[in-house]
Amino acid sequence: MSEFEVRLFEDDATIVAIGEGLLARTLPKEAWTHEAHLAACTWIVRDRPDITPEQDMASIISSYNEAVGGVNDDTQGYHETITQVYIAGVKAHLSETGADTPLWQAVNALLLSERGRRELPLRFYSKDRLFSVAARRRFVEPDITSLATI
């Protein structure tokens, strides 16, 4: 069980504002939480067909990190493998969620599910592999079990 309390959303507008703030690189750094990551990803996957998450999230998140004073290097900032795991989780979750489900309800259900947990990538990767420089820089295949089970 996660030691972190999950912060849920009360409306679609809050999630859209997070997503738009990410894209515009104006979201306050302190607002870029685990929940915000998954909310923005869900909004992008569901409501932004002009964005291909698997290809575009690296530049979106990296440029956001830099805009708020962050660094993308071998130890901090953007992490390609973790991002791809959560994109797969969001897509799997949305495939099971009704298209008429309000965004905030879909995001909250994700956050409360196994796919929304902070530890999700460790179901598929050993710590050594997941937190390697290679996994941060490019997608690496899991060494525990296939992402097909996400």
Cα torsion 131, 71, 4, 117: sign:
negative
| Residue whose C-alpha is closest to residue 61's, from 94, 35, 37 | 37
36 found inside a domain: yes
Judge whether 3 lies within some domain: no
For the chain, residues with pLDDT lower than 70 are 1-3
- Identify whether 61 is part of a domain: yes
Distance (Å, rounded) from C-alpha 134 to C-alpha 45?
25
Domain that holds residue 116: 12-149
Q: Structurally, how many domains does the chain consist of?
A: 1
Within-domain flag for 6: no
Give per-residue pLDDT as tens, 92-124: 999 999 889 999 999 999 999 999 999 999 999
Q: Tell me, what's the pLDDT at 98?
A: 87
The pLDDT value recorded for residue 81 is 98
In a domain, 48, yes or no: yes
Q: What is the model's pTM?
A: 0.96
